[in-house]
Amino acid sequence: MLKLSQLLNEEGVVTFTYAGESVTVKHRPGACTTRFSEQMDELSIDSALLVLCSDFGVEDDAGVPIPVTAEGVALLPVKFKRTMLREVLGAQYPNSPRTEDDSSSF
């Protein structure tokens, strides 16, 4: 029988271009529960990314991956975080009406 933990730990990958570079983000499709969807408009960008992502696909200048922690996400520029969240949500909710010009919540 399928375990809830298996669903919640499922991993997906989304790749997008930012500043001329390819970025591959690992995310958790199972994190998009009804509870998350209901709370999404109340979450900060940082909080949403910490719930949804398992790897930001970004490293520091020394080549060390930026960790998926509060400290790590705080290092990322807001414009990049908005783009990453939009891409991850687009993969999670393919029929979402969000667009690049969307000014709601995030």
> CA–CA separation, 26 vs 31, rounded Å?
12
The predicted pLDDT at position 105 comes to 47
CB–CB of 55/35 below 8 Å? no
Domain ranges of the chain: 4-92
CA-to-CA separations, 23 to 34, 38, 42, 50, 56, in angstroms, rounded: 28, 28, 27, 17, 8
CA nearest to 43, candidates 51, 33, 54, 32: 51
> CA–CA separation, 45 vs 31, rounded Å?
15
CA nearest to 80, candidates 27, 38, 20: 20
Tokens at residue 36, please? 């998350």
Flag whether the pTM goes above 0.85.
no
pLDDT 10s digits, 74-91? 999 999 999 999 999 988
The predicted pLDDT at position 62 comes to 97
pLDDT < 50: residue spans in the chain: 99, 101-106
The predicted pLDDT at position 106 comes to 47
